[in-house]
Structure 1
């Protein structure tokens, strides 16, 4: 037994060393112009499907057959999803051609996935795939509307899809606003705020304690934010002022390079709550 244990430990160490060397030498080609190897693609796809099945298992879907729900799902799909996934007779936009793995044809997805699995992916997205999570940009009802339309997608002909598109408002008029504000305690929720900070791309400009990947220095670091007297040097550091700043920094200081990111009242209060813990 002792020999077997030692053999297992040695084999594990050798495998770890080989894997570390493989990564360090940069042998695996991460270029999006090259396909994944078959084993890597299989592993990513299998892990994704098992994860989605697990996390969507307890979701209860609403009724999805109402025509108004399907029509609204079409409008959202044509505005937010068609660029990557295409549609019957409609090619994806140029950005989709450079994504690896390639975005799925959702007519096939509608045949193979349950509605709760589709809902979970639309709401939460998929890491390392280019698929965004729409939880912070669409309401829950709107996400289910998208699911209702995707479920109907295999039945659409190119002609039928074109007829629906011609009857819909132009993209510029149909553009969707961020999800509407919801009631939220004035104190906010710090844990929800930490999650929201990751979703609003704060990590692309700031170093933020506790947020993975937030190590950039385009904007000032947010360490010790709770102890600062001012926000951006212009506003007294209160929670209400932080909410104002997060929602529309350009209105407060037009010289700031920080853009308005469409942060809702709820998310801003939660984000302010998290920033208040950074002491």
Structure 2
């Protein structure tokens, strides 16, 4: 390496160190206003928006989109949209609910989104959500067919009047598709001998908010816990101190803790059988080494 290149490398390294130290100082002093009552600065908003857009484009499967033009699909999608989406995004002639009015960044008007985004990109966002925003991941509460129905409605809403939307949403409520994932009566039962997937269980435990009450190795969440930490759960003899720690008991505990301990403060989260088995398989991998 020549003297010139070495000098440039040293200068670049110093700039990186100074930049990191400056960013750390901004964080430590609390200089960036994180309040939702004020908007992001323009540079921060543009960087977050660009990063989100590029991330979605890199992950969306453009070849997966079905035919979205069928009237029946749009009608089903309108009902799903009314149930899950209108509260934040509004609809033709319908304002968002009050909870959306204080969100930062503000939820997008999806008519504009439908004009600019591909259906597969919208599907990916609905299914997986967006970090650092109010957009949740719906994959554990809606089937892929239900999400595609919703995307069909969003695409059709570009040319929809308030009267059209009102007529669509006065129809019967949506019929739930059978699915393995997601809460509610549409969950497909899995045989008692089926083994769960620990990796899927770790993701499901995150989405079912387990880390808001428990410290769980491998899941980023609360530093202070309401329930007991789950470190070593795979080696414990009992669950909650009341029932032997077996895979089937863990599945039943996750689905309805009160059947074993009526005084338990742990709520029944409506886990599908498959999700409960996956989470049980993940918890079984936790030992004291973690």
TM range (shorter): over 0.9
Q: Is the 8 A contact 1:139 1:179 kept in 2?
A: no
SS at match of 1:220: coil
Q: Is the 8 A contact 1:84 1:93 kept in 2?
A: yes
Contact 2:79–2:168 (CA under 8 A) maintained in structure 1: no
Moved more, 2-11 or 96-105: 2-11
Shift >6 Å, 4+ stretches:
none
Task: Report the counterpart of residue 135 of structure 1 in structure 2.
Answer: 139
Of 180, 184, 188, 1:177 maps to 184
In 2, the alpha carbon distance for the partners of 1:58 and 1:158 equals 30
Shift in alpha-carbon separation, 1:101–1:124, aligned structure 2, 3 A:
same
1:154 aligns with 2:195: no
Supply the distance in 2 between the matched residues of 1:36 and 1:50 (Cα, whole angstroms).
19
Say if 2:98 is the partner of 1:94: yes
Aligned match for 1:251, one of 245, 251, 259: 259
Deviation sequence 1:35-71 (CA, Å, 0-9, x none) = 0000000000000000000000454111222222111
- Confirm or deny: 8 A CA contact 1:247 1:263 kept in the other structure: yes
Asked if 1:194 corresponds to 2:202, the answer is: yes
Change in Cα spacing, 1:155 to 1:226, as seen in structure 2 (3 Å) is same
Post-superposition offset of 1:251? 2.7
TM-score in terms of structure 1 length? 0.94
Which of 206, 211, 214 does residue 219 from structure 2 map onto?
A: 211
1:267 is matched with which residue: 249, 268, 275? 275
**Which whole-Å deviations, capped at 9, do the CAs of 1:66-93 have from their partners, x for residues lacking one?**
2221111111100000000001111111
Gap runs ≥5 in structure 1: 171-175
Counterpart position of 1:75 = 79
Task: Tell me if structure 1 keeps the 8 A contact 2:36–2:104.
Answer: yes
Q: The residue matched to 2:64 in structure 1 has which SS?
A: coil
Q: d(CA) in 2 for partners of 1:40 and 1:109?
A: 21
Q: Distance in 1 between matches of 2:189 and 2:63?
A: 21
Return 204-213 or 52-61, whichever deviates more: 52-61
In the aligned structure 1, how far is the partner of 2:37 from the partner of 2:185?
Answer: 33
CA RMSD of aligned residues (A): 1.7
1:8 is aligned to 12
For residue 134 of structure 2, give the secondary structure of its aligned residue in structure 1: coil
Q: CA deviation at 1:9?
A: 1.3
Measure, in 2, the Cα distance between the counterparts of 1:262 and 1:150. Answer: 28
Indicate the residue corresponding to 1:122 in structure 2.
Answer: 126
Q: 1:40 aligns with which of 41, 44, 54?
A: 44
- Matched residue pairs, number? 274
1:226 and 1:278 in contact (8 A); partners too: yes
Post-superposition offset of 1:253: 1.8
Q: CA deviation at 1:167?
A: 3.2
Q: For residues 202 and 237 of structure 2, what CA distance do their matches in structure 1 show?
A: 22
Structure 2, gaps ≥5 residues long: 175-182
TM-score under structure 2 normalisation? 0.90
